[in-house]
Amino acid sequence: SYELTQPPSVSVSPGQTARITCSGDALPKQYAYWYQQKPGQAPVLVIYKDSERPSGIPERFSGSSSGTTVTLTISGVQAEDEADYYCQSADSSGTYEVFGGGTKLTVL
């Protein structure tokens, strides 16, 4: 079955830049989406179609794509950004959805 691979954890100090990667063979063909999830809450969409930012999401959140890897970048990380982040995409046929294993962002 198709898998998306994320690092389990990323740590940064406040004000620094956090980069979270997500790798998958079908990413050149399928868009990726990113979600932020804080403890006890439902996920929230922060990036769609690789690099688009929904209304209401701070400009410090951005996304990019290169080959089989997509990256979520958080510039000028704030304490409130500490959360789990998940990438999501579809298999090469576009039929089945899949989530990455999630990355815990720790703000030191």
Partner 1 sequence: EVQLVESGGGLVQPGGSLRLSCAASGFTFSSYDMHWVRQATGKGLEWVSAIGTAGDTYYPGSVKGRFTISRENAKNSLYLQMNSLRAGDTAVYYCARVGYGSYEGAFDYWGQGTLVTVSS
Contact with partner 1 (CB under 8 A): which of 44, 64, 73, 92?
44
Site size with partner 1, rule: CB under 8 A:
25
* 66-85 positions binding partner 1, by CB under 8 A: 84
Q: How many CB atoms lie within 10 A of CB 16?
A: 13
Tell me the two tokens of residue 31: 């868009």
Which of 24, 63, 102, 105 is in the footprint of partner 1 by CB under 8 A? 102
- Give yes or no for residue 7 binding partner 1 (CB under 8 A): no
Q: Closest separation between CB of residue 14 and partner 1, Å?
A: 26
Beta strands across the sheet bearing 18-23: 18-23, 69-74, 61-66
Residue type, 7: P
Q: Is 61 in the site for partner 1 (CB under 8 A)?
A: no
Asked whether 106 and 11 are in contact (CB, 8 A), the reply is yes
Residue 71 CB, nearest approach to partner 1 (Å): 17
> Per rule CB under 8 A, is residue 86 in the interface with partner 1?
yes
- Contact in structure between 24 and 31 (CB atoms under 8 Å): no
Examine residue 3 and tell whether it contacts partner 1 (CB under 8 A). Answer: no
Nearer to partner 1, 16 or 97 (CB): 97
φ, ψ (nearest 5 deg) of residue 75: -90, 140
